[in-house]
Structure 1
């Protein structure tokens, strides 16, 4: 079977901590829509590599704290950059909640007054989140682990007209946004810790 070309998803990551990484979105719902995800558990001599956590209850207290601290830490910079009045911060905790890739992730979506009026109102963001394509966290790990298949980890088919307007962005565009966000975070005194994500953990 043909294999889909691997994407350089590491270039989409703009912030890392010992337990978490943040990346730009393949098809953002609104400008500034990012994803924050827990890292894989590291492989040890006594245990093989663990799959990425897919549920909030699979995180340790330390991982949970780091995940939500990262959300809180990044939102002031996003507020400044996108003139945000508020945020949607959402987790689809399991397939029945609309999770389309088996890796826990937090959607952080800057909001402005009236930004969804043309698409049916502010609460429509939840409907689009549940049924739309939401970013390619799975591809990050498949590409890193050399497991990118022909379907790229088949996500749910899109059914919203508004979603069809959200075209996948190029690697170059996402890499540029990631570099810009990294620079702006550093301007605000927010630095990544050494990126465990690049060392295979």
Structure 2
């Protein structure tokens, strides 16, 4: 789908982009909490929500709405947790604004709010996972420390993410075709 390199913070995610507007993108998640857990981000790497332009905020919100609708349909869910962790103190692990869209079903966690515990845990720390991936060949000691933290919910392979990207790209295109025919 993408023709030029696209980044999520410092990480290249070009092949994980399944929806793109002029100012926003939606990407599959390397460590989804539940099936269908995706991220919507501004194309411009901007760390905090308050630093987005008005135009970016509007485009981002509309992209979140469109993506959430398709994700719920595709994954057969009845709701979604839509969350932004704005800044490191709020649990943001990659310094690039991103909205989590997590499709939800009744009783998918013992408590409805358990999803937030997963977002804040080391299991959901994508930044640390990517750092591990980048450094594992270089620094053996860091590898040991980070492997223990990432074992509970290992990241998916590039092939798995690209397969989901292709499927969701097709589903987003179907939605756009359906909307334009109304």
Which of the residues 113, 131, 137 maps onto 2:121?
131
Look up the match of 1:187: 174
Question: How far apart are the structure 2 equivalents of 1:178 and 1:79?
Answer: 16
Q: Quick one: higher RCO (CA 8 Å, sep 6+), 1 or 2? A: 1
Look up the match of 2:89: 96
Superposed CA deviations along residues 4-30 of structure 1, whole A, max 9, x for unmatched, are xxx863111111111111100001000
Question: How far apart are the structure 2 equivalents of 1:176 and 1:158?
Answer: 25
8 Å CA contact 1:54, 1:102 repeated in 2? yes
Q: Higher helix fraction: Structure 1 or Structure 2?
A: 2
Q: What is the deviation of 1:101?
A: 1.3
TM-score by length of 1: 0.70
What does residue range 1-201 of structure 1 map to in structure 2 within 5 Å?
9-40=13-44, 52-117=45-110, 121-132=111-122, 133-135=124-126, 150=135, 164-189=151-176
Question: How far apart are the structure 2 equivalents of 1:183 and 1:102?
Answer: 29
SS at the partner of 2:172? helix
8 Å CA contact 2:26, 2:67 repeated in 1? no
Relative to structure 1, is the Cα distance of residues 158 and 114 closer, same or farther in structure 2, using a 3 angstrom cutoff?
Answer: farther
SS at the partner of 1:188? helix
8 Å CA contact 2:94, 2:126 repeated in 1? no
Cα RMSD over matched residues?
2.9
Q: What is the deviation of 1:164?
A: 4.0
Q: Which runs of 5+ in 1 are unaligned?
A: 1-6, 41-51, 143-147, 192-201
Q: What is the deviation of 1:165?
A: 3.8
TM-score by length of 2: 0.77
Q: What is the deviation of 1:128?
A: 1.1
Q: Which runs of 5+ in 2 are unaligned?
A: 1-10, 137-141
8 Å CA contact 1:131, 1:159 repeated in 2? no
Superposed CA deviations along residues 118-153 of structure 1, whole A, max 9, x for unmatched, are xxx2211101101232546x96xx9xxxxx9527xx
Question: How far apart are the structure 1 equivalents of 2:53 and 2:81?
Answer: 24
Look up the match of 1:194: none
Relative to structure 1, is the Cα distance of residues 39 and 8 closer, same or farther in structure 2, using a 3 angstrom cutoff?
Answer: closer
